[in-house]
Every structure is written in structure tokens, then in C-alpha cells.
Chain A
């Protein structure tokens, strides 16, 4: 036990001594994660919102989530490596594939689940389809949409660590290179990645709070609202047609 404590002490020392290396790798890590999440948002949000607005494609939306869960991140990164080779974009694209399912499914479920009465009332007030989307459905759906973005963000920051194996850079470079940095370097980088993931989780959570209309603020953590870990009740709600997701 004391031996392991020494390792953690050495690891913290490594982080302080090698702070330039750590900062550089953290920057790479954030760049990679940020690029992947941005691309995933651009792809998945419009599709999810549109399908939800039209109340169409529940089968697609739910199965994308199930398939996304079954994809091992290591396998996706390895396959990206096979087809696109080593490098930033190969890994970024693999991360995009992993980030799309939670964002798309949550956006779909969120908009699809907006109360029909609210939409009806908006239509009665003379709102156009576009106004209904931007002024009624989107604000009401925001908490759940953000829960999906939060899951995707934490997932991408975590998985970007594995990216090092396919030459994506980031803090994983240190974690998988024990020969170069020693156990203290590996453990130090592991601590940094864990803190980074928790910070990313908190940051998106704060953003979510700031963007949620005051009338809708609920004391719910992302995990409680998010489909990928949600209890069954929430999982079954969107499937009006009766079969379980």
C-alpha cells in the first residue's frame, strides 16, 4: 500500500515537473475532442431535431443509440486506422462516429417528447413551423438535448485517450508509453485525463444550466436525463408504437 502511495506521489511530481509536456498534450487532447464534438454536433443535431419535429424515424433514432453503445471505441479507432491511416483526422473521424449516437438520439427524443399541447398552442397563436421549432420545441427540449451533448463530450474526452494508439496525440501518448515516461508519467497522465473528463462534464453542465430557460430548470444530473444510462421508464416513453428500445 505504501508502495502504491509512493507511485501516486511520484506521479504528481511528474505532472508538476513536466508541466510543459502535460499542457502541450492536454491542448492536443482538447483540440482533438473539440474538433470531434463540433463535427458530431453539426451532423447529429439537425437530423435529430428534424426527425423529432416531424415525429418520424423513432426506429432509426433508437437503433442508432443501441448500435452506438455496442461499438467498442478501441475497435472504431482501429478501423479508422485501417481505412484512413495514422493521424489526427483518422482519429477525429472515429470519435465523431462515437459521439453522434447520444447527440442524435437525445435530440430526437427531446423534441419528439415536447408536449403536443404546447405545439398546438403555438400554432394557435399563429406561429410558423420555423418559429415553433426555434421558440417552443427547442427551448423545451434543451435540457435533454444537452444531456446528450454532455454524454458525448465526456465520452469523447475519455476516448481521445485511446487515440494515442492510432497516432492521434493527446494525453494518451503518455499513458501508453510507459517505456518513455515511466510508471509515474503514466499514472500522472491518467490523473490529468480523469480530471479533464470531470471538468468537461462540469463545464457542459454549467453551459446547460446557463442556456436552459429559468422556467425549466430541474435538479437533474445529466446521467438522470440521458437515455444511454437512463432507467427504463424514460427509455420506453419515446416508443409510442409499443416495442421496447
Chain B
């Protein structure tokens, strides 16, 4: 549970740290204590990392599903592009900390609050990129598809969607990386993710925990980005050969 008074690190006068038992390094609150990391990896850091990955995956998966459906519908009917982009842009502009708090009266201090906000932030990037990808198909390619006798559905599945992969993946990379960053703030609402140890450590001004948790969050974002680059290469073999020549 959330300890009383958190996460007001800097409020209410100086905090006198009490790190209890531990090595000299921990008691003196030096910059980095490897032994603390070793002792708390499986109890604190690893669970936070796993929770963080879960929060991110759920948010991006739901956001992707919504954006994909909306982009397909827009591509077919061209109806609600402007309102959709306007809505997503406004959500995108609202500060994360504020959005989490605005949702609390509606959904409470739950994972749902966090996920709704995180999903909201992915919409603008994913929707616009998927739509842009679908629209990036050159007209003569579509003409050729029609000339080959492909139906609308076949054109979508065999031509438009594969050609939309690069734009979609570019959007996915931005969405995943920014969701990982935003999910740290979620710890203000629920005690989950890498933000939670950061908040707790800020409260006690405990340096090692702040630095390690922050480094894990940045590292997670960079690893996820790299994985998506590899996935994109695998999904677009035609780009690879073109690059090689």
C-alpha cells in the first residue's frame, strides 16, 4: 500500500533519512551502493520492472487496437479524421500527472485509471501514423492492384497493410518509448512500475534507488526501441534488399 505522506519528498521540511540496517554505503547514502541493488533486486526492482513492462504492453496493445480500427474506418469512409485528431491532440496536450488525477474521481485509484490515460496518449501518434502509412501507397500501385483484379479487401490485406508497416512501426516506436516514460508517473496513482521505487526513494532522498530505477526506465525504453527496429526490419524485407543495393 501507499505509505502515508508520500510522495511529498520535498515538503514539510528536511527529511532525516533513516535507512536502518545496511552497509555503511547505504547508511551514509552514497551515490551508488551495489550491495543495496543486489539485496533489493528480486524484492523491489525486478517486480517494478515487470509491472512496468505489463503496464506498457497493455496500454500500447489497447491503443494500437483502437487506433488501427479508427484508421481503417477513416481510410475507408474519411469521416471522422478531423474530430479524431482534434480529440487525440487535446488528450496528448494534457499533462500526465493531471490526467491521472482527473480520472481518479471516475475510475478510482486503480490500474484502469492509469491504463485509460496511457492509452489516450498513444492514440494521436498511432492513429496518425497508421493512417499516413495506408495513404502512402502510391496511386499507380493501387491501379496495378486493380488491374490484376484484386478486390478491395485483397488490396487492403496484400498491398496497403504491408506497405503501411514502416509508418506504423515508426509510430509504434514512439508510442512504446513514450508510454514507458509516462508509466513512471503512474506510480502517483497506483504503487506499480518503476516510478514507485523512484517516488519512495525521493521521499527518503535515497540516491542509489533513484539512480537505479531511473536507469532501468531509460534502459527499458532503449531496449524496447531496439527490439522494434529489429521487428520492423523483419517485417519489411523489401526495404532491406533495397538498402543493400
Given contacts A69-B178, A74-B195, A198-B90, contact A231 B171 (CB under 8 A): yes
- Among residues of A, the one whose C-beta sits closest to the C-beta of B195 is A74
A50-84 to B contact mask, C-beta < 8 Å, 1/0: 00000000000000001001111111101101100
B195-238 to A contact mask, C-beta < 8 Å, 1/0: 10011011001010011011101100110010001000000000
In the complex, are the beta carbons of A191 and B198 less than 8 A apart? Answer: no
A167 at the interface (CB under 8 A from B): yes
Bound-state CA distance A147–B214 (Å) is: 29
Kindly specify which of B5-13, B20-28, B148-156 makes contact with the partner chain.
B5-13
The one of B98, B124, B170, B180 in contact with A161, judged by C-beta atoms closer than 8 angstroms, is B98
In the complex, are the beta carbons of A191 and B181 less than 8 A apart? Answer: no
B74 at the interface (CB under 8 A from A): no
B6-50 to A contact mask, C-beta < 8 Å, 1/0: 011111000000000000000000010000000000000000000
Kindly specify which of A1-9, A12-20, A103-111, A121-129 makes contact with the partner chain.
A1-9
Q: Which residues of the other chain, A, contact B221 by a CB distance below 8 angstroms?
A: 69-72
Q: Which residues of the other chain, B, contact A233 by a CB distance below 8 angstroms?
A: 132, 136, 167
Given contacts A158-B96, A162-B185, contact A175 B101 (CB under 8 A): yes
In the complex, are the beta carbons of B92 and A223 less than 8 A apart? Answer: yes
Bound-state CA distance A194–B71 (Å) is: 27
In the complex, are the beta carbons of B97 and A161 less than 8 A apart? Answer: yes
In the complex, are the beta carbons of A79 and B214 less than 8 A apart? Answer: yes
Bound-state CA distance A75–B177 (Å) is: 14
In the complex, are the beta carbons of B167 and A194 less than 8 A apart? Answer: no
Chain B proximity of A194: nearest CB distance (Å):
4
Bound-state CA distance A72–B221 (Å) is: 9
In the complex, are the beta carbons of A75 and B207 less than 8 A apart? Answer: no
The one of B97, B99, B128, B218 in contact with A75, judged by C-beta atoms closer than 8 angstroms, is B218
In the complex, are the beta carbons of B5 and A179 less than 8 A apart? Answer: yes
Among B93, B99, B171, B211, the one with the most A-chain Cβ atoms within 10 Å of its Cβ is B93
Among A76, A201, A235, the one with the most B-chain Cβ atoms within 10 Å of its Cβ is A235
Q: Which residues of the other chain, A, contact B201 by a CB distance below 8 angstroms?
A: 78
Number of interface residues of B (CB under 8 A): 64
Kindly specify which of A39-47, A137-145, A182-190 makes contact with the partner chain.
A182-190
Q: Which residues of the other chain, A, contact B217 by a CB distance below 8 angstroms?
A: 72, 74-75
Q: Which residues of the other chain, B, contact A232 by a CB distance below 8 angstroms?
A: 129, 132-133, 136, 166-167, 169-171
A37 at the interface (CB under 8 A from B): no
B69 at the interface (CB under 8 A from A): no
In the complex, are the beta carbons of B102 and A191 less than 8 A apart? Answer: yes
Tell me which residues from 98 to 144 in chain B have a Cβ below 8 Å from any Cβ of chain A: 98-99, 101-102, 104-106, 124-125, 128-129, 132-133, 136
- Among residues of A, the one whose C-beta sits closest to the C-beta of B175 is A229
In the complex, are the beta carbons of A190 and B8 less than 8 A apart? Answer: no
Bound-state CA distance A36–B225 (Å) is: 28
In the complex, are the beta carbons of A162 and B97 less than 8 A apart? Answer: yes
Chain A proximity of B63: nearest CB distance (Å):
14
Among B101, B171, B178, B201, the one with the most A-chain Cβ atoms within 10 Å of its Cβ is B101
- Among residues of A, the one whose C-beta sits closest to the C-beta of B186 is A74
